[in-house]
């Protein structure tokens, strides 16, 4: 159980219904998004969307995924092994179960892998917000326009475009202190420049680095502040606007994130700032490269968009896996009897190279029909390596490697999609969409298992499983606009994630493992409304939904407990509502509030003998109730100076951890108490200078965001992850 049984408090500041950066996302008071692969006003999009500007994230120092996504309606995150996995409207059973359930794109380029082996199980990318125009979070299945792995929802990262209008740029720096962070200061440095080279060509370049101090001490190793981190990256973009009807945009992005120790906290120490991770565990690194080329052309009544991209993500983690039953099962049988105590440090390496291409055409027929039609192709090559190091817990020396695991997976997908909007009157239209996808997968799996004490030869196994599948997703969305300021819509939409091969497939009667698991699918029934009241002084956004989920992908443990594999279970359902308001009662003051109710639970028990869950059990990580209130005020105090200040309170309700492996363990399933997080910020703008100060987690409360029994198969009921302690800092920026 967590250290405290009381409701825990914490804080986070970010926009509620929608926030945007000044120039790239809004025109006047109208927020523009590209949720449906065309630019539209947010209040006209018949999809539940939250849009947050990169500048607003920086103002509140929301530089990490776990800081931002906790403030979005209907979104919960689970943080473990230094990464954040998302559950949108409760659609998840575990971060390491099957393939990803939430899709991510960067400038409409799919990010990460479609498979669990290559894609870090769908972990949210920690892109620095300094080069983001905005982040759009689409809730509910988005399979028609965005394809595989968007069955729970989609997150779109939109970068800042090069500007043809003139030379511009910015430089910035900042520093911050974290409670219990020792004597270290965190800092950040950022710079960007935009250079037009003639009337039709412009280049934008940027770079950044930030250092986060650690604040957790490892009592086993004696090291202080072990969970420090550093992020460094940059971006280069070029835009050639050859004419009013033709343009090419090139984009190259690189980021490396080093985390020097985990944020695990061992609650048995009686402290929120101490851990007992094994020597050698906790280190992780992620290296992301993304290159893309986008062509936009007006072909005379038909608009063409072509996006070609290549990305590579290289990641590794060293995880303390000592509490796993694998340790007790394997190690005593392998090593001499005088060795009675073992540590188990897992080294996991995930690499994926991904090529993708999408071409789409859009246009109108007369004045009453808008259409989009397109094709998509992706080719992925993923690697997943595991080395289990049996270690001496006293000095970290390695006794041996009882398990060595090597997977290579090839994934190809072809898809065609179409979307049509028919305007039946000035006030009423219906949107229809469909997508057909087909994928092929093949894997090379190699495993070395030390079944007898050294120096005996290990048992070796090689399998070459294959999988293939297809899916048809669709959406039907009628929309009614009684006035230009109000819109009511209904939405029937589906999403899916592909199945795949199981590495250690076998017909062995002792440990049978199927060679393939099937796709699963979500179907969303939704009714929503958006609009403005009182002369646009008050905005509202409301939706009520019911999502049916069938053939759920789950992870099982083999009968001897030596490895895991994927299979399919029964059904689940998520139903609830989301409501958001934004008010501008006087000049300069913006008030925002939202509330989300998500009731996500199983409709059938799991038939597996190695995952225990019964009808009515809550799906992991999603809070039934969550909400947020924020305010922002700015005013000019002179012709050259403007001041601003704001704050927020974010409530995340009680959540459940992962499902447990067997019925006797049901009482140990983790419960995460609800918490409230408060943030405040203030700023001064003077000419081209901008100074911001902020306090995150004002009351220094400890909200649980991950951990507990069976979390990512660690079986350690005493380890948890908490929101970052109170953080105080300032940033200064000069633009030109």
The pLDDT > 70 percentage for the chain reads 91
Mean pLDDT value across residues 724-730: 95
pTM over 0.85: yes
Instruction: Report pLDDT for 610.
Output: 66
In this structure, the number of other CB atoms found within 10 A of the CB of residue 50 comes to 28
Q: Which two tokens stand for residue 330?
A: 């394997």
Q: What is the DSSP string of 502-542?
A: -TT-B--SSS-B-SEE--EEEEEEEEEEEEEETTTTEEEEE
Instruction: Report pLDDT for 8.
Output: 28
The pLDDT tens digits for 288-347 are 999 999 999 999 989 999 999 999 998 899 999 888 766 776 677 777 777 778 888 989
CA angle 70, 75, 78 (to 5 degrees): 65
Q: Out of 116-120, 261-265, 422-426, which region has the weakest mean confidence (pLDDT)?
A: 116-120
Q: Out of 119-123, 234-238, 447-451, 485-489, which region has the weakest mean confidence (pLDDT)?
A: 119-123
Between CA 432 and CA 36 the distance in angstroms is 12
Between CA 555 and CA 564 the distance in angstroms is 6
pLDDT band at residue 11 using 50, 70 and 90 as cut-offs: very low
Instruction: Report pLDDT for 28.
Output: 43
Q: Out of 118-132, 235-249, 632-646, 697-711, which region has the weakest mean confidence (pLDDT)?
A: 118-132
In this structure, the number of other CB atoms found within 10 A of the CB of residue 717 comes to 20
Most confidently modeled of 510-514, 611-615, 723-727?
Answer: 723-727
Q: Out of 50-64, 121-135, 522-536, 553-567, which region has the weakest mean confidence (pLDDT)?
A: 553-567
Instruction: Report pLDDT for 24.
Output: 38
pLDDT at 25 over 70: no
E-assigned strands of 264-368?
A: 265-266, 274-275, 284-298, 302-320, 343-365
Q: Out of 303-312, 313-322, 627-636, 683-692, which region has the weakest mean confidence (pLDDT)?
A: 313-322
CB 315 within 8 A of CB 289: no
The pLDDT tens digits for 378-406 are 999 999 898 989 898 999 998 888 888 89
Q: Out of 54-58, 279-283, 472-476, 699-703, which region has the weakest mean confidence (pLDDT)?
A: 54-58
Instruction: Report pLDDT for 728.
Output: 96
Between CA 271 and CA 216 the distance in angstroms is 10
The pLDDT tens digits for 493-516 are 999 999 999 887 887 777 788 889
Between CA 626 and CA 600 the distance in angstroms is 14
610: alpha, beta or left, given left = phi > 0 and alpha = psi -120 to 50? alpha
pLDDT at 558 over 70: no
Between CA 67 and CA 56 the distance in angstroms is 13
CATH topology of domain 26-735: Maltoporin; Chain A (2.40.170)
The pLDDT tens digits for 33-78 are 898 898 888 889 999 999 988 888 888 878 877 778 878 899 988 8
Question: Which position has the token pair 């062995």?
Answer: 508
> Sign of the CA dihedral 9, 10, 13, 17?
negative
């Amino acid at each position: 159980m967590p250290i405290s049984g009381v409701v825990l408090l914490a804080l986070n500041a970010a926009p509620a219904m929608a926030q945007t950066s000044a120039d790239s996302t809004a025109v006047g008071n109208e927020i523009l998004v590209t949720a449906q692969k065309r630019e539209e006003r947010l209040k006209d999009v018949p999809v539940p969307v939250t849009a947050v500007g990169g500048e607003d994230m920086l103002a509140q120092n929301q530089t990490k995924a776990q800081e931002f996504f906790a403030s979005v309606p209907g979104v919960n995150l689970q943080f473990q092994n230094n990464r954040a996995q998302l559950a949108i409207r409760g659609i998840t059973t575990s971060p390491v179960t099957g393939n990803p359930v939430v899709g991510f794109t960067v400038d409409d380029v799919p990010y990460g892998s479609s498979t669990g082996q290559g894609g870090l199980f769908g972990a949210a990318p920690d892109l620095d917000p300094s080069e983001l125009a905005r982040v759009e979070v689409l809730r509910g299945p988005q399979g028609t326009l965005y394809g595989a792995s968007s069955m729970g929802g989609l997150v779109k990262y939109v970068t800042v475009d090069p500007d043809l209008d003139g030379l511009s740029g910015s430089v910035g720096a900042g520093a911050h202190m974290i409670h219990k962070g020792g004597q270290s200061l965190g800092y950040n440095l950022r710079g960007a420049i935009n250079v037009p080279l003639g009337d039709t060509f412009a280049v934008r370049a940027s770079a950044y680095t930030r250092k986060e101090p650690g604040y957790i001490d490892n009592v086993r190793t004696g090291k202080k502040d072990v969970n420090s981190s550093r992020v460094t990256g940059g971006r280069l973009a070029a835009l050639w606007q050859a004419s009013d009807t033709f343009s090419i945009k090139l984009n190259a992005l690189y980021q490396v994130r080093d985390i020097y120790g985990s944020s695990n906290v061992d609650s048995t120490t009686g402290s929120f700032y101490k851990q007992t991770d094994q020597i050698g565990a906790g280190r992780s690194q992620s290296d992301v490269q993304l290159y893309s080329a986008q062509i936009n052309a007006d072909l005379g009544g038909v608009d063409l968009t072509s996006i070609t991209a290549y990305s590579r993500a290289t990641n590794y983690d060293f995880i303390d896996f000592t509490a796993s039953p694998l340790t007790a099962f394997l190690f005593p049988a392998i090593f001499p009897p005088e060795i009675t105590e073992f540590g188990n440090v897992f080294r996991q390496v995930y690499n994926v190279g991904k090529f993708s291409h999408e071409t789409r055409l859009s246009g109108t027929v007369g004045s009453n029909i808008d259409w989009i039609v397109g094709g998509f192709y992706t080719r992925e090559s993923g690697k997943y390596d595991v080395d289990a190091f049996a270690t001496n817990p006293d000095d970290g020396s390695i006794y041996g490697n009882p398990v060595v695991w090597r997977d290579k997976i090839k994934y190809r997908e072809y898809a065609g999609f179409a979307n049509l909007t028919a305007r039946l009157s000035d006030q009423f239209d219906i949107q229809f969409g469909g997508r057909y996808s087909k994928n092929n997968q093949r894997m090379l799996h190699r495993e070395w298992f030390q079944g007898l004490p050294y120096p005996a030869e290990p048992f070796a196994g090689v399998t070459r499983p294959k999988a293939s599948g297809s899916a048809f997703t669709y959406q039907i969305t009628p929309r009614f606009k009684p006035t230009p300021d109000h819109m009511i819509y209904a939405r029937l939409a589906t999403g899916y994630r592909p199945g795949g091969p199981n590495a250690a497939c076998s017909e062995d009667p002792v440990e049978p493992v199927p060679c393939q698991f099937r796709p699963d699918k979500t179907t969303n029934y939704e009714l929503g409304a958006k609009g403005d009241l009182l002369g646009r002084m008050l905005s509202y956004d409301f939706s009520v939904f019911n999502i049916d989920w069938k053939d759920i992908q789950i992870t099982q443990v083999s009968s001897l407990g030596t490895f895991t594999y994927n299979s399919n279970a029964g059904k689940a359902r998520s139903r609830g509502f989301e409501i958001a308001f934004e008010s501008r009662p006087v000049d300069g003051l913006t008030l925002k509030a939202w509330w989300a109710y998500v009731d996500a639970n199983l409709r059938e028990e799991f038939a597996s003998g190695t995952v225990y869950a019964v009808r009515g059990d809550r799906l992991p990580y999603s809070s039934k109730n969550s909400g947020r209130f924020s305010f922002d005020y700015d005013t000019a105090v002179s012709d050259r100076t403007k001041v601003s200040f704001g704050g927020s309170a974010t409530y995340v309700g009680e959540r459940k951890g992962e499902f447990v492996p067997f019925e006797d363990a049901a009482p140990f399933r983790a419960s995460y108490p609800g918490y409230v997080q408060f943030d405040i910020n203030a700023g001064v703008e003077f000419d081209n200078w901008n100074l911001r100060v902020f306090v995150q987690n004002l009351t220094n409360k400890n909200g649980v965001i991950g951990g507990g029994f069976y979390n990512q198969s660690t079986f350690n009921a005493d380890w948890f992850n908490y929101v970052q302690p109170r953080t105080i800092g300032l940033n200064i920026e000069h633009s030109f």
